[in-house]
Every structure is written in C-alpha cells, then in structure tokens.
C-alpha cells in the first residue's frame, strides 16, 4: 500500500510521522451530500459502493488534516476527545474540534478553506472537551451568493450557539448577539464551567435550530435545567422551549432558573433526529439530578431515560416512551434515534429505532410511540434499595438483548475467578436493575457500555441494523452523607465519588476489576447485525482485541469496550473504529468477518462518514473519513490522543 501525503501520513505504512501540509485546494468538483449529522434519517448509511468487499483491501490514506486542537489530562481545561463526524454540503467538508473551532475543508485534498474559533476559556476545567458535529441551514429568502445565505450552526462546549457563514467562516451578525446566543443564563446558575455545555450537534428543522445540553451528573439536586430550546435560524430569536419538568410541576415552590425553567430535570445531551414530513423532533433524554438517588425529587423522572417526540413547529409533546422507569443506574438514552420504514406482516411501518446502554433495542412507531414489537413489563430486583423503585422494567421481546443481563464471576485463571467470587460474596447482584444502596452492588451492564453515543447504522434496503456494544460490570455504592462529610473533613480523597448534594447519600462507583481483569465474562465488547423486519439477531461477534491495547501478545477474542459508532455502505461494508487501539476496521455486513483494517494515529473514537467526489473528467472517488483522536477514558489507560482527521480511498491510479 502506498503511503499518501498530508498533514500526518503513514510512515512506511507501519507508523505515523508529521509532515508539512502539502495539500492544495482542489478545483470546484461535484460531490455527494452528507448534509446532516448521522446522514439521512440518522441511519449512518450511504449507498455509495465504489469501495466494496472485493477491493477494500486496497484502501490507502488519501489525506489527513491536523487541527492542532489537542490537550492532555494535565492541561487546565482537561484532555480533548476528538469525536466529530463531518458533514458535506455543496462540496465542502465541515466539522468541529474539541476546543470548539469549526473547520471547513476541501473534501478531495483535505486543504483548509477556513476555520472559526469560538474562543472558549481554556483556563477553566471542562467535564469533557468534545464536539460531535455541526448543522447546516440555507436561507431561501436570500440570494445564494449573499453573506450568510448558507450557515453552519454550531454549539460550543461552553454552551453558546453560533451562526457562521458557510462560505467564509465569518459570524452572521444578524443572528442573536452579533452571531451567537448564550444558552447559559436562562438554564440556571453553574457552580463550575463543567456543569453545563453542549457536545452534540444542533438539529435543524425547517427554519428552527434545536439544541439541548449535557448537565453534569451526580453533583446536586438543583443543577441547571435540561431544557431543550428552538431558535429562529435566521435571527436567533427563541421560538419554543421544552422544559422537561413533570406535568403538574409546581413552579411557585420548586427551584427554577431566572427564565422559569425547572432545575434538576432530565437533559438531552445526545444527538437528536427529526422527521420533517411529520413535523417531529425526537429527543433522547438523560436522567434527572442526581442520577443514583432522588428521594423527594422522584417525580422529576417523568421524562427521564425516554424518547420524546416533539412537534417541531411548537415544541409540544406528541408522545413519549420510557426505556427505564425510576432510573437509578445512569441508563440514560445516549444515542441518536434512527428512522426507517419497516415491513411488518406485509405492512409498511414508520419506525424509530432506539439503542440503549442496557444493550436493548426498542423499535417504536414514530407517529405514535407505540412499540412495533412487544415490550413486556417484567419484575426486577428490589432488595437493598435506598428508596422507592419501579417494581417492573420494560424489556423488548424483539430484538433480543445484545448483551446478557446476568453473569457468573469469571477470570483468566481459576485463581482470578476465585478472587471475583470472593468479591461478589460481599456485594449484591441479582441481575440487571439490581438497585444501588448503602452496600456495594453490581450494575450490569455498566452505564459506560451498551450502545452509547455512537448509535446504530441501518441499511434502509435490507432493514438491517448494525451496532457495537460494550459489556462490563460496575460496582456502585451510596455512601451515607455523614461518612462522606467525615472523610472530606480529614482531607481524604474519595476516589470516583460524587457528592449528590441535597440528598442523604454521596455515590461511589468504578468498573468492577480484580487483579487487572474484569470480573464478568467476555466478550467485553461486541459488534452485531439485527434483522429489524424479523426482530432477530443475524450475527454477533467479539469486537476489539487485547493485543491492540496491551503489551501482552494476546490474540484472545475477549472484545473490548468501545466509544464511537458504525457506518454502513452500499458496498456491503461496515466501517468502525471505536475500540481501543489505532485502527479503522471494515467488516462484511453479511458475516461479521473483518475484511480490512487501516492504521490511525490514535483511536477512531468517533463515527465515520463517506462521500464521493468527481474530478474534472467526471471520474468518481469515494472517501471514508474518521476522526482519529482517541478518547480521554482510554487515554487514562495509556492510549494515545490525537487531533487528526483521516481520509481513506482507493488508489487514484487503480
């Protein structure tokens, strides 16, 4: 394989080295479109098929781009996680960096067209330095060449919404306050910068730009509001707000922000999706505050861990479906809802598919919110809980869970297994939804795993879903307030503990590991295909290998936790990075067999996208692009971080 030039290139195809950016701007070319985050209907699918199973092993690095936006855990702001998926509109590639810059590139060469800097304060610590995407809006009331007739809409990590001229990178001065809207004041007071921000792209529906935000978990009961707001894409004027307080909420006696939004509600930190034909916005919700204990604030769970359909023009609730009742496990809905029309019993059904941290996949009618396949309310464990619980939880009958819901302790050796058995004997575990309490308990699957923000990919022709899911166990304990206060008083650093102020308990949690290995059986990460028409798993394979992440020469199919999502193409390929290690992989969609992997400068902990560019002679070239930045969680375990966008393609002279 030839090693292509660019800002960062493969050195002898076996490593990576810096080189000057020699890419020149390309002449105007026709290009395919990927104009919204997640692609059409959020399916993470493209019909492009120039790259297929027969030639994928010829892929080479076509170009790379380094943003320079890279910090480590020792920086005042914390480490970056380059998680962006670009969009391609009118022949230009747009994406954000972890430090809240927006970059426009030539899609054929990776040459920079322009960059915009939101100038966030890097002297402050952020909960996470990441931004997953941007949105595009076109003002049909303006001539095409007029400034800001085409806009990139972007929400920065410090919770500001920006409107940028798509052609020049300059601010659109007629939007909000000289080009931006500050989302912070109306949401409520912050005790620190990392309590409130935006990591997911805004959503554009007609002339509205809709934005949610993350709210830091487990801090206190009166954290900022999780309100979802829609602004006029032309002027930045607020058009509607969805306050996630429960029906009948007493705004006169309960804490609210200066704008009157309820504090401590669920929030919408994951990407949203929309059905423009039906005027619907679909929002995946998180947990109310704090995650692991609510007490007198239990009513705030009404919209928690749910998919909520809003009327796009007004923000009114059309329907809601809750995936977890009284969620005390941090099982918030983490992924973008995905839309596809299914063939069920000979009838076309407009479906919404929602992946979850539990490894469950809920398939709903997107017009009504009713399950397409049966969902059963099954009894769940109750013993040891510190507060009232729902006696049942919803379990989809179809598709089957991608992950097991219970396990027996495991180890590489019988001695390892014995250590895990001894540890479990002092903890509570009765399967999924074992409630947290003052004694240590096991949460399985862990809220860091299952299907996370990378979401699912769906081929609309075959109606097959493809996704990756992590599978680790976590130990959790509610620490009585007096114990927590006493330890803090003497200066004891309570590791992995959150204060949950306003409740009787702090919270401790950590991945359950004994002797440097997880105690639940592998695979610790899987990749799977699901037939959505039938509601059946087609194949499921371990995903990720120990040898890619450890110095041990182990080629064991244990799978690994993963962060990032899949891309499916018309060439019969599933592209995904996500797992620890520096690889973008391609799998055969029919069998799950790995057919190619390409070296990256760091982990591809993002979701790839693909597009096609036509040269002056009309010849097409398909590119697959992934943000290779690594992830702060894997960085803590020794993996690399980077700032590199990498584009792969077949050789030009083939």
- Cite the active site residues: 330
Placement of tokens 């507060």 in the chain: 387
Give one DSSP letter per residue of 71-133, joined into a string: --TTSTT--B------EEETTEEEEE-TTSEEEEE-TTT--EEEEEE----TTS--S-B----
Residue 226 is encoded by which pair of tokens? 């999780």
Element (H, E) at 513: strand 513-514
**Pairing state between β 45-46 and 567-569:** parallel
459 near 498, Cβ under 8 Å? no
- Alpha-carbon span 15 to 4, nearest angstrom: 13
- Alpha-carbon span 337 to 636, nearest angstrom: 30
Of 410, 526, 427, 418, which Cα lies nearest the Cα of 469?
Answer: 526
- N- to C-terminal Cα separation, the chain: 12
Element (H, E) at 421: helix 414-425
Of 426, 430, 438, which Cα lies nearest the Cα of 385?
Answer: 438
Q: What are phi and psi of 551, to 5 degrees?
A: -75, -5
Sheet hosting strand 238-242, strand order edge to edge: 203-205, 208-211, 228-232, 238-242
Tell me the C-alpha to C-alpha distance, in Å, between residue 613 and each of 62, 79, 106, 138. Answer: 12, 34, 10, 22
- Alpha-carbon span 273 to 202, nearest angstrom: 10
Element (H, E) at 622: strand 620-628
Placement of tokens 């199973």 in the chain: 53
User: In DSSP terms, which residues pair with 621 in a beta bridge?
Assistant: 613
Residue 592 is encoded by which pair of tokens? 């799950």
């Amino acid at each position: 394989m030839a090693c292509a030039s660019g800002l960062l290139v493969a050195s002898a195809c076996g490593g990576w080295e810096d080189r000057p950016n020699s890419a020149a701007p390309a002449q105007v070319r026709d290009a395919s479109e990927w104009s919204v985050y997640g692609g059409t209907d959020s399916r993470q699918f493209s019909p492009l098929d120039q790259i297929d199973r027969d030639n994928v092993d010829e892929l080479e690095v076509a170009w790379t781009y380094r943003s320079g936006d890279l910090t480590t855990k020792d920086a005042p702001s914390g480490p970056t996680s380059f998680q962006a998926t670009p969009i391609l509109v009118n022949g230009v590639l747009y994406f954000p960096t972890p430090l809240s810059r927006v970059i426009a590139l030539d899609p054929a060469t990776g040459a920079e067209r322009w960059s915009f800097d939101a100038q966030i304060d890097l002297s402050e610590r952020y909960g996470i330095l990441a931004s997953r995407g941007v949105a595009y809006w076109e003002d049909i009331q303006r001539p095409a060449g007029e400034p800001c007739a085409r806009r990139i809409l972007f929400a920065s990590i410090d919770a500001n919404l920006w409107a940028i001229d798509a052609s020049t990178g300059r601010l659109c001065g007629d939007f909000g306050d000289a080009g931006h809207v500050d989302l912070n004041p109306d949401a409520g007071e912050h005790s620190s910068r990392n309590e409130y921000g935006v990591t997911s792209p805004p959503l554009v529906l007609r002339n509205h730009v809709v934005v949610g935000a993350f709210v830091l978990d487990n801090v206190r009961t009166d954290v900022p509001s999780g309100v979802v707001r829609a602004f006029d894409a032309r002027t930045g004027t607020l058009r509607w707000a969805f306050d996630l307080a429960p029906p009948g909420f007493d705004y006169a006696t309960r804490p609210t922000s200066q704008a009157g939004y309820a504090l401590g509600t669920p929030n919408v930190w994951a990407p949203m999706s929309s059905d423009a034909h039906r005027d619907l916005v679909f929002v995946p919700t998180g947990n109310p505050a704090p995650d692991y204990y609510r007490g007198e604030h239990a009513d705030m769970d009404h919209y928690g861990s749910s998919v909520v359909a809003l009327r796009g023009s007004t923000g009114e609730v059309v329907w809601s479906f809750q995936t977890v009742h009284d969620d005390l496990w941090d099982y918030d809905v983490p992924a973008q809802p995905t839309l596809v029309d299914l063939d069920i019993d000979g009838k076309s059904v407009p479906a919404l598919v929602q992946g979850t941290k539990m490894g469950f996949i809920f398939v709903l009618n997107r017009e009504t919110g009713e399950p397409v396949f049966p969902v059963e309310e099954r009894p769940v464990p109750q013993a040891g809980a510190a507060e009232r619980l729902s006696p049942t939880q919803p379990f989809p009958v179809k598709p089957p869970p991608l992950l097991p819901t219970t396990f027996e302790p495991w180890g590489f050796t019988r001695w390892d297994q014995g250590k895990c058995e001894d540890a479990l004997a002092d903890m509570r575990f009765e399967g999924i939804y074992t409630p947290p309490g003052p004694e240590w308990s096991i949460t399985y699957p862990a809220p860091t795993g299952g299907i996370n923000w990378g979401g699912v990919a769906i081929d609309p022709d075959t109606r097959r879903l493809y996704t990756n899911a992590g599978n680790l166990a976590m130990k959790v304990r509610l620490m009585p307030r007096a114990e927590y206060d006493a330890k803090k008083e003497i200066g004891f650093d309570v590791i992995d503990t959150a204060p949950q102020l306003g409740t009787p308990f702090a919270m401790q949690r950590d991945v359950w590991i004994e002797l440097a290995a997880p105690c639940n059986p592998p695979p610790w990460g899987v990749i799977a295909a699901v037939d959505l028409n039938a509601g059946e798993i087609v194949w499921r394979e371990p995903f990720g290998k120990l040898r890619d992440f450890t110095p041990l020469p182990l080629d064991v199919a244990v799978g690994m936790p993963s962060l990032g999502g899949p891309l499916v193409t018309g060439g019969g390929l599933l592209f995904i990075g996500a797992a620890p290690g520096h690889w973008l992989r391609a799998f055969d969609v029919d069998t799950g067999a790995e057919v190619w992997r390409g070296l990256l400068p760091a982990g591809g902990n993002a979701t790839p996208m693909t597009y096609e560019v036509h040269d002056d002679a009309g010849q097409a070239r398909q590119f697959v692009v992934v943000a290779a930045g690594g992830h702060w969680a894997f960085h803590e375990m020794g993996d690399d971080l980077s700032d590199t966008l990498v584009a792969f393609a077949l050789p030009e002279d083939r």
